[in-house]
């Protein structure tokens, strides 16, 4: 059997956006991924569904696997002919043990490749607003282990030269040895007034930064109960943080936001939240499925020449509709008979993706917005097709009928509560503080509350944010105190409303 290949990949410092393009490509192609403790778990979602995921993390609480076991695991999996990714936090060759793993592979004549990652030694300080070098302040920096091999009889750190020979010192894995590091630097000539920053969980929404001096930082860290993982940076560049701090100054920094959208759609909301500093917790409360019976929708599609309008009230409706268009061996040319309406930008984008520009988008992205503007048109006697969800409210159908139109509502897709929702609620939020719960439809409200049962404590301490008035009305009818309602009924509008709420606070 031909031997496989091992890619030793640096996952970056925590922010999922900081992995390299090549590193992400390796993850997608891997048969086996052996991953560390401090990687962003979202990276594993890019793996092939059949990929074998093996946790080999190490922490101060214990090791899932010892280093010799990891080395042997890589060898064994490669001998089976697999493509393996050894996914390591930050960069595999900067105070990691990637070099030892590469040696073991080389000794066993197994092909390997190193994919560098962004080191936490520079990324952590950068996200805290601290450049490791700066003209006129620091022209050199050193990265030092703060946790030497305990089996070594003597230290390999030349403290006397290090203390005063380098402008900026960055210690990794040194939080538990902070008192010793401070004592050695002062003992060897570094001024006790030298600025120090401790950066915990750098580049993630949990990032916290503590600044002081060599003389004060140990006591300050004890009072703040600072625990690993921490990057320690020592030098005058730390003072630049007052001007350059950016990551922790973002409007939603550190806020935990529950995203209840369907899994396929959650990423758009999560991405916007991450850009503003929030930590999204994805908990899909609905699943989208094609209608179990398509005869009615197919018949309506084949009869499109008889219709004046198709109005799409969601991107899901567009997607399901187009699946049936293709199943009937038709394409967008079949729609030249009718005008097309989209309830809002996201629905319009779904049509644009199919090469169709909608004829109508209301100024207000709601059913009421459609009715207000259609009231100005002469739609008396016009046939209007509404491909919608099975649980869509009847207000649009009733409103169009009142305007003299002939609406025909057909189920294009169905929504249902995910079977694992109740267990996921317990797993994801039972012991975590959630600052904001977002609802993007009435069904997300209903399903989420059903999953909670009598355990509604989370609702007492969380801010409730709804995408629009209809969703907010459902939430209020269910007894929720709605704090935020987006003025523009879109995902960007919802995020902007959450941001405005916290700015006012």
HSE-up of residue 488 (Cα within 13 Å, Cβ side): 12
Euclidean distance between CA atoms 359 and 21, whole angstroms: 39
DSSP per residue over 94-119, as a string? SSSSHHHHHHHHHHTT-EEEEE----
Q: What is the pLDDT along the chain (505 residues), one digit of tens a residue?
A: 789 999 999 999 999 999 999 999 999 999 999 999 889 988 998 999 999 999 998 766 666 788 999 999 999 999 999 999 999 999 999 998 999 999 999 999 999 999 999 999 999 999 999 999 999 999 999 999 987 765 566 778 999 999 999 999 999 999 999 999 999 999 999 999 999 999 999 999 889 999 999 999 999 999 999 999 999 999 999 999 999 999 999 989 989 999 987 766 677 888 899 889 998 888 888 888 888 899 999 999 999 999 999 999 999 999 999 999 999 999 989 998 899 999 999 999 999 999 999 999 999 998 999 999 999 999 999 999 999 988 888 899 999 999 999 999 999 999 887 776 666 666 666 556 789 999 998 888 988 888 877 667 777 778 999 998 989 999 999 989 999 999 988 899 999 999 999 988 7
Element (H, E) at 441: none
Sequence-distant (6+) residues with CB within 8 A of 463 are: 435, 436, 437, 483, 484, 498, 501
State the pLDDT at residue 430: 59
State the pLDDT at residue 153: 64
Quote the tokens at residue 247. 């990551």
Q: Whose CA is closest to 472, among 482, 462, 463? A: 482
DSSP per residue over 300-330, as a string? HHHTGGG-SEEEE-SHHHHHHHHHHHHHTT-
Domains and CATH numbers, the chain: 5-118 (3.40.1010.10), 122-248 (3.30.950.10), 256-286+418-504 (3.40.50.10090), 293-413 (3.40.50.10090)
Euclidean distance between CA atoms 192 and 213, whole angstroms: 7
Tokens 């499109």 sit on residue: 304
Quote the tokens at residue 67. 């280093």
CA 429, 489, 315, 377: dihedral to nearest 10 degrees? 160
Active site residues: 36, 58, 173
Quote the tokens at residue 485. 């309602």
Euclidean distance between CA atoms 161 and 164, whole angstroms: 6
Rounded to 5 degrees, φ, ψ at 397 are -60, -45
Euclidean distance between CA atoms 59 and 481, whole angstroms: 41
State the pLDDT at residue 424: 67
State the pLDDT at residue 501: 95
State the pLDDT at residue 432: 62
Q: Whose CA is closest to 91, among 166, 14, 162? A: 14
State the pLDDT at residue 459: 76
State the pLDDT at residue 151: 57
Sequence-distant (6+) residues with CB within 8 A of 69 are: 56
58-59 and 62-63 strand pairing = antiparallel
HSE-up of residue 425 (Cα within 13 Å, Cβ side): 22
State the pLDDT at residue 416: 82
Give the angle 256-261-267 at the CA atoms, nearest 5°: 70
230-234 and 168-172 strand pairing = antiparallel
Euclidean distance between CA atoms 122 and 173, whole angstroms: 14
């Amino acid at each position: 059997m031909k031997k496989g290949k091992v890619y030793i990949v640096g996952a970056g410092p925590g922010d999922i956006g900081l992995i390299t393009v090549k590193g992400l490509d390796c993850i997608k192609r891997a048969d086996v991924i052996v991953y560390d403790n401090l990687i962003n778990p979202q990276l594993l979602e890019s793996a092939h569904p059949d990929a074998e995921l093996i946790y080999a993390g190490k922490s101060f609480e214990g090791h899932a696997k010892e280093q010799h076991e990891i080395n042997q695991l890589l060898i064994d999996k490669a001998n089976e002919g697999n493509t393996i990714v050894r996914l390591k936090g930050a960069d595999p060759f900067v105070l990691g043990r990637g070099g030892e793993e590469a040696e073991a592979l080389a000794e066993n004549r197994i092909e390997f490749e190193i994919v560098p990652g962004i080191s936490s030694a520079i990324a952590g300080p950068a996200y805290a607003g601290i450049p490791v070098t700066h003209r006129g302040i620091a022209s050199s920096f050193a990265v030092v282990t703060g946790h030497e091999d305990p089996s070594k009889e003597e230290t390999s750190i030349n403290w006397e030269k290090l203390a005063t020979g380098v402008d900026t010192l960055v210690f990794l894995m040194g939080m538990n040895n902070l008192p010793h590091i401070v004592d050695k630097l002062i003992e060897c000539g570094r001024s006790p007034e030298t600025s120090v920053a401790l950066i915990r969980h750098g580049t993630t929404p949990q990032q916290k930064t503590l600044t002081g001096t060599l003389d004060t930082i140990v006591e300050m860290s004890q009072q703040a109960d600072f625990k690993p993982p921490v990057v320690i940076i020592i030098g005058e560049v730390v003072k630049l943080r007052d001007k350059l701090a950016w990551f922790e100054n973002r409007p939603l920094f550190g806020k935990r936001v529950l995203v209840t959208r369907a899994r396929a759609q959650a990423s758009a909301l999560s991405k916007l939240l991450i850009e503003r500093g929030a930590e999204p917790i994805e908990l899909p409360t609905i699943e989208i499925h094609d209608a179990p019976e398509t005869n009615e929708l197919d018949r309506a599609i084949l009869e499109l020449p008889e219709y004046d309008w198709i109005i799409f009230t969601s991107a899901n409706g567009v997607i399901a509709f187009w699946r049936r268009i293709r199943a009937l061996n038709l394409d967008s040319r079949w729609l030249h008979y009718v005008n097309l309406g989209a309830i809002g930008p996201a629905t319009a984008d779904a049509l644009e993706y199919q090469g169709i520009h909608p004829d109508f988008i209301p100024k207000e992205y709601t059913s009421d917005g459609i009715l207000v503007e259609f009231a100005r048109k002469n739609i008396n006697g016009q046939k209007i097709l509404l491909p919608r969800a099975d649980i869509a409210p009847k207000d649009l159908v009733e409103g169009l009928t009142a305007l003299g139109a002939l609406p025909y509502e057909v189920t294009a897709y169905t929504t249902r509560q995910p079977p694992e929702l109740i267990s996921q609620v317990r797993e994801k939020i039972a012991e975590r503080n959630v600052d904001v719960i977002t609802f993007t439809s009435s069904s997300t409200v209903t399903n989420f509350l059903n999953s909670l049962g009598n355990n509604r404590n989370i609702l007492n301490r969380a801010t409730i944010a709804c995408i629009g008035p209809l969703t907010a009305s459902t939430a209020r009818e269910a007894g929720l105190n709605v704090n935020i309602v987006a003025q523009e009924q879109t995902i960007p509008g919802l995020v902007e409303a959450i941001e405005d709420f916290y700015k006012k606070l």
